[in-house]
Amino acid sequence: MKTDLMGLSITPQALLYIGLDVAIALVLLIVMRWVFGLWTRVDGTDQLSGKDNFAFGISVASSLMALSIVLWSAAEKASSGDYLAQSLQMLVYGVVGILLIKVGRFAHDRLVLDELDKREQILNRNVSIALVDGASAIAVAIMLRSILLWTQGFDIHSGIALISGFIVALAVMLLITRLMERRFAQDNQNDSMQDVLVGGQVALAIQHGGLLLGTAFSVSAASQLLEYHPTAYVSNLLSWLVLAMLFTLLTIALAWIAKRLVLPGINMVREVDHQHNVGLASIEMALTIGMALLLLGLVS
């Protein structure tokens, strides 16, 4: 039996496997929440509703959002005529996505935000750290999406390409963070950006989070110009790195120009770094992400 809906032919078998995919997605979201609880080693329910820990909630929400982005990509990526094979791909990509998101967060903690204990800060209700943590998780998921859609097939070669792109994504995030830290130190008498974030500077967290998300969309734009070669592992890695950095630096330059045109006469260093102006930091975040999305649209 076949049903026509909005011009689309839907069979009972198709509906069955769509339901299976939705069930897989829901189970994976539960698993992500469980994995987050294992990482923090605390009672998540108590943190969220008993202690009303907003920072913990932001961190959990970003994990769920990141996984949802990966599942969206997995559902779009699955292209087998066999519905059961599609569901299997959805499950595999979802599990791999959970692992890579956690690895990305671990790497971000140990390599990028290496001067602080993120877990301790979040449990101590530090919203600034939670915002940066959330932005990094979602940024990793956006970059994973671009890599998933870039690869072809469902084999060992696509897996290696996924890992290669993931390494490049982390490298770009690390480099961009170090550049921002250097800029911050130059403008603030050698103060440490990470120390200021520990102090609860929300405006700086929003500014930095916008840069991380802009970087993610810049890497996604770079993927539009890369041709996938299944066995060219080194070439794929170097091409990703060069184009990702090029598009990220171009995004930063365009965002700098946009800020000068949209916010003329405003000293962003004074407003964000010194006066903690959350409103202007939000505008800067929007402009950075906006320029990255513009580049993504132009090359798509």
pLDDT score at 6: 53
Using 50, 70 and 90 to split pLDDT, how confident is the model at 20?
confident
| pLDDT tens, residue by residue, 191-208 | 899 999 999 999 999 999
The whole-angstrom separation of Cα 3 and Cα 12 is 8
Residue that is written with structure tokens 């080693």 in the block:
41
Per-residue buried b or exposed e for 113-149, using 16+ beta carbons within 10 Å of the residue's own CB: beebebbebbbebbbbbbbbbbbbbbbbbbbbbbbbe
Using 50, 70 and 90 to split pLDDT, how confident is the model at 1?
very low
Cross-strand bridge partners of residue 8: 5
224 pLDDT more than 90? no
Contact present, 295 and 225 (Cβ < 8 Å): no
The whole-angstrom separation of Cα 27 and Cα 181 is 39
59 pLDDT more than 60? yes
Q: Which of 5-14, 97-106, 261-270 has the highest mean pLDDT?
A: 261-270
Which backbone phi and psi does 8 adopt, to 5 degrees? -105, 140
30 pLDDT more than 50? yes
| pLDDT tens, residue by residue, 133-154 | 999 989 988 988 888 888 776 7
Radius of gyration of the CA atoms of the chain, in A? 20
**Full-prediction pTM beyond 0.75?**
yes
286 pLDDT more than 80? yes
190 pLDDT more than 90? no
% of the chain residues with pLDDT over 90: 29
57 pLDDT more than 80? yes
Tell which wins on pLDDT, 9 or 218: 218
**Mean pLDDT, range 258-276, rounded to an integer:** 91
The whole-angstrom separation of Cα 170 and Cα 174 is 6
